[in-house]
Amino acid sequence: MEAPLMHLALVGTPNSGKTSLFNALTGSRQKVANYPGVTVERKEGSFVTPLGRQVSLVDLPGTYSLRGRSPDEEITRDIVLGRTPGEALPDLVLCVADSTNLRLTIRLLLELKSTGRPLMLVLNMFDIATRRGVTVDVPRLSETLGVPVVTSIAVRKGGTAELLRRTDEIIAAQAPQPARPNLWQPLNVAQLRATQREADRIIAATISLPARPDTWTARIDAVVLHPVAGLAILALILFVMFQAVFAWAAPLMELLATAFGALGELVSDTMPAGILQSFLQNGVISGVGSVVVFLPQIVIIFLFILLLEDFGYMARAAFLMDRIMGGAGLHGRAFIPLLSSFACAIPGIMATRVIDNRRDRLTTILIAPLMTCSARIPVYTLIISAFIPARQVWGFINLQGLVMFGLYVAGIASALGVSSLIKFFMWRDYAPAPFMLELPDYKMPRPRSIAIGVYTRAKMFLQRAGTTIFAMMVLIWFLASFPQPPEGATDPAINYSLAAMIGKALEPLLAPVGFNWQIAVALIPGMAAREVAVAALGTVYAIEGGKEAAEQIGAVLATKWSLATALSLLAWFVFAPQCASTLAVIRRETASWTWMWVTFGYMFALAYAASFATYTIAVALGAG
Amino acid sequence: MTEQNGARPQMPLGLARLGYSGVIQHLAAGDASSALSADELESRLIELGFVEGVRVEVLHEGIVGRDPIAVRVENVTIAVRRREAMAIIVA
Ligand SMILES: Nc1nc2c(ncn2[C@@H]2O[C@H](COP(=O)(O)OP(=O)(O)OP(=O)(O)O)[C@@H](O)[C@H]2O)c(=O)[nH]1
Ligand SMILES: [Mg+2]
């Protein structure tokens, strides 16, 4: 007979290495980073112990207590107390501690004991603790606490061996034991204090902590958290990041663009002219290809973000920005979700689960899509490289990079502006929510985890190009190719197509902001995802312009659009709610259709207004 | 508990200057004008390790109104706003 499946759960204070352990044990690739509040969802995986027991493991958001004061902490509480519908009560709770900082975890462990669940304390990051000279009397600690204690190093090969061995022992011993009742009650202040005192007493008796802080962290923080130098460094990091997106990616992008150009030519030279040739050349290669060439930029931006996250800089940036964001009515914990939104608004919106106050969380969700996500990069780059000369300003700054930086700043400024307005109009009785955040010690980013992170992101980007974008391209190509022009027609074939009809129907609406019908056609499928707009423009102009156009979409745009139109389109994409998945996540996270439509509506209005203003001013200045 | 730092006057951590080091005497969550209720604020402070008898040191401060502050509490560094730190009475 097969032994029943064992359910294990990882519980612990934030940033103690739960997800690292989860990944090490189950071979998963969940997101790990050096700041509190990375995991905001329950994640499940499985593994087989050395003795062959099948184990299901859940990774949970970090928490300091079982009170569940924010949505992510509620997830953890509900799993531990067996309140999640359809979820087994864990057979063993692994309480994961950062061994350099045991006070808070041991208090949590004392609280967990009252739930009656079998427990094991995992002293993770034991490598760092050893290096700092922390010594733990493990048998004594285990005896005092009345729970098994093991040490582990989640990020080292074999670092979980002891954990696995003890798990097997516990599983073997546990079967006949009767379950203990759940006596957990939320701790009141006095109990909480008493528990922390007891934890401190236990630590004093079993652990020797040389009061030697991490000297590297102290030295780096002296500069990075300096009130003036710190802000300058933060600005410099962001600035270098956007310069790099342009400067470093350019050669690789050219290579990719040339490759797609050659592929397109190969298709047009070797295949007989006709529908299939047009589909491959205009729909697939010009459309999807025009998005795939942005892969190097996506990789670079993620590389930067992942390095900062793994190093431990994110919490510092939140510290530096706290009052500035607070002035705009944002919660201190909103910074990290907003910074994650630079990659993509979806994980950013999910990350708002760490915000305890409902209103603050909602404000953050509403403005997260204004942060410049990586899907805007293709749009921005395409237009910038077509219309902004690649000059050097003051000798060392790339003008194109500068404009890109300006667009990012526009996104941030408008997010802060919208947040101030929300605070001012909707929540008059606003009181600033507290900001309390652990600043973890710096850790050397590990090349392997960075590589995995970048690879995962690149794969996602290509997958999207191959699925969503490809599907949209097929549609666009079809609309732009049919019906075929009548016999003896003189205009370009596309002018007789469905796409032109739709685009021309919308043109009057978009004319005030300077968009032509081709842009109108690109914006509609662009609702699915922002990059689709680039691919759609690629296809539409390729069908219209033939072979040369297919190769250099940027060059074509430069001849077809005025500078005013180009700038107006840039302004449009700073604001436009052009992403169906983001809207879906907003609906899910706020559990309301209303807020989704509010987001859609206000962003749309902002986009139209901004484009209108940009276009009008640009035309007045003679750029029309 | 005051014997550790007998001579020094008590004051809220929220008023401490950069580099200040002292020992927590008690928590006075009702006195801080935080958006949180006194109980909630006190619970959170305890959960982050701010309990009586613990040594704290102000390591860093922000640029606007010297706020927030980064406080060393035993082996961790915690960022808090001065408004909430007013609830931590040190000497
Ligand atoms: N040196 C060392 N670093 C570790 C160890 N375990 C985790 N880390 C690092 O600690 C940081 C936090 O790890 P995570 O696994 O994300 O922590 P978590 O507990 O899941 O954090 P939350 O999801 O925010 O609660 C990362 O930078 C890891 O690389 C360890 O045993 N040794
Ligand atoms: Mg995690």
User: Per residue, what are the HEC states of A264-328?
Assistant: HHHHHHHCCCCHHHHHHHHHHHHHHHHHHCCHHHHHHHHHHHHHHHHHCHHHHHHHHHHHHHHHC
Q: CB distance A227–B34 less than 8 Å?
A: no
Q: CB distance B62–A431 less than 8 Å?
A: no
Residues of B in contact with A217 (CB under 8 A): 77
pLDDT for A358: 85
Tell whether ligand 1 has an atom less than 6 A from the beta carbon of residue A16.
yes
Which residue's CA lies nearest to atom 23 of ligand 1? A39
Relative to beta strand A119-124, strand A54-59 is: unpaired
Please list, in sequence order, all residues whose beta carbon lies within 8 angstroms of the beta carbon of residue A144, skipping any fewer than 6 positions away: A202, A205, A206
ipTM of the complex as predicted: 0.92
Distances A97 to A38, A62, A63, A109, B46 between C-alpha atoms, Å: 16, 11, 11, 9, 18
Q: CB distance A101–B39 less than 8 Å?
A: no
Relative to beta strand A436-438, strand B76-80 is: antiparallel
Q: Quick check: A533 and A379 in contact, CB under 8 A? A: yes
- Structural domains in chain B, CATH included, are 11-90 (2.30.30.90)
Angle at B77 between CA B72 and CA B78, to 5 degrees: 100
Q: Tokens 């020797």 belong to which residue?
A: A208
The two tokens of residue A306 are: 């992942």
The two tokens of residue B8 are: 């020094």
Q: H or E element: which one contains A240? A: helix A227-247
On whether any CB of chain B is under 8 Å from the CB of A439, the answer is yes
Residue A58 to residue A19: CA distance in whole angstroms: 10
Q: CB distance A434–B36 less than 8 Å?
A: yes
pLDDT for B1: 43
Residues of A in contact with B32 (CB under 8 A): none
Q: CB distance B78–A64 less than 8 Å?
A: no
Q: Quick check: A186 and B43 in contact, CB under 8 A? A: no
Tell whether ligand 1 has an atom less than 6 A from the beta carbon of residue A62.
yes
Query: Distance from the CA of A443 to the center of ligand 1, in angstroms?
Result: 10
Please give the single-letter amino acid code of residue A300.
I
Q: What sign for the dihedral angle of Cα B33, A227, A316, B88?
A: negative
Mutate to test the interface with A, among B41, B50, B51, B59 (most CBs of A within 10 A): B51
The series of mean pLDDT values per 10 residues for chain A, 624 residues long, is: 80 96 94 92 94 94 92 94 87 94 94 92 94 92 95 93 93 68 89 94 89 80 93 89 78 84 83 80 77 84 90 92 84 84 87 87 93 87 86 78 86 91 75 85 91 89 82 82 74 78 87 89 83 82 64 77 92 88 91 92 94 93 79
Angle at A179 between CA A173 and CA A182, to 5 degrees: 135
Q: Which residues fall inside 5 Å of ion ligand 2, going by CB? A: A 18-19, 38-39
Q: What is the pTM of this model?
A: 0.87
Q: Quick check: A123 and A150 in contact, CB under 8 A? A: yes
pLDDT for A529: 81
Distances A550 to A498, A504, A538, A544, A545 between C-alpha atoms, Å: 20, 22, 7, 9, 8
Q: Quick check: A371 and A341 in contact, CB under 8 A? A: yes
Alpha carbon B77 to chain centroid, angstroms: 12
pLDDT for A178: 58
Please give the single-letter amino acid code of residue A503.
G
On whether any CB of chain B is under 8 Å from the CB of A293, the answer is no
To which CATH superfamily is domain A6-213 assigned?
Answer: P-loop containing nucleotide triphosphate hydrolases (3.40.50.300)
User: Among residues A123, A31, A581, which one has the least CA distance to residue A314?
Assistant: A31
Q: Which residue has the higher pLDDT, A331 or B39?
A: B39
Asked, as a colleague might, if the bond just before A483 is cis with ω within 30 of 0, I would say: yes
Tell whether ligand 1 has an atom less than 6 A from the beta carbon of residue A155.
yes
Q: Tokens 């290096």 belong to which residue?
A: A131
pLDDT for A546: 61
Residues of A in contact with B67 (CB under 8 A): 322-323
Q: Quick check: A301 and A245 in contact, CB under 8 A? A: yes
A225 phi, psi to nearest 5 deg:
-100, 10
pLDDT for A373: 87
Torsion from C-alpha of A583, A585, A586, A591, nearest 10 degrees? 130
Q: Tokens 């016999």 belong to which residue?
A: A487
The two tokens of residue A280 are: 């491959």
Please give the single-letter amino acid code of residue A584.
A
Please list, in sequence order, all residues whose beta carbon lies within 8 angstroms of the beta carbon of residue A486, skipping any fewer than 6 positions away: A496
pLDDT for A242: 75
